[in-house]
Amino acid sequence: MILVRILFTLLLIGPIIPGVINYAKNREEPALKKESNYVALINSAGLYAIPYNVIFLIQELFLVVGKNSLGLTAYLYHNNHSWDGEHPMASLMQGSGALAIFLVGSICLPGLHAVRHSPSIWKVLLL
């Protein structure tokens, strides 16, 4: 239990230490003044949230489809799934959601490399 507390303390305090060191080093230098582009920030947040939710839905659907392929009765409900029935490979089908995420990522990776240097914000969908 002590080890867990030490680990969480390091995770909380660890990122603060480099920030304090950099602040002490660069205290005299003036900060760069740059206009913020809030429209791009909001658009990128939205364009990132949409694929995140789509991937989550695909993961849950493939978990259910994997169980149904074994003859189990699978139920998909808010943020979870369950199934009725017994099958020796039911635990193995828990990985079908991760497999779906890997396949979607493998499909999107060549597209991301194709539009890597594009100035368009739509590449966030592929990312």
Say if 71 falls within a structural domain: yes
5 assigned to some structural domain = no
Other Cβ atoms closer than 10 A to 76? 16
Q: Is residue 62 part of a domain?
A: yes
Q: At residue 13, does pLDDT exceed 90? A: no
pLDDT at 106: 93
For residue 42, tell me if it sits in a domain. Answer: yes
Residue 73 dihedral angles phi and psi, to the nearest 5°: -95, 110
Q: Pick the closest to residue 127 from 51, 54, 55 (CA basis).
A: 51
| Domain total in the chain | 1
For residue range 48-82, list pLDDT tens digits in order.
888 899 999 999 889 888 888 888 888 887 777 78
Q: Is the entire prediction scored with pTM above 0.85? A: no
Domain span at residue 57 reads 37-126
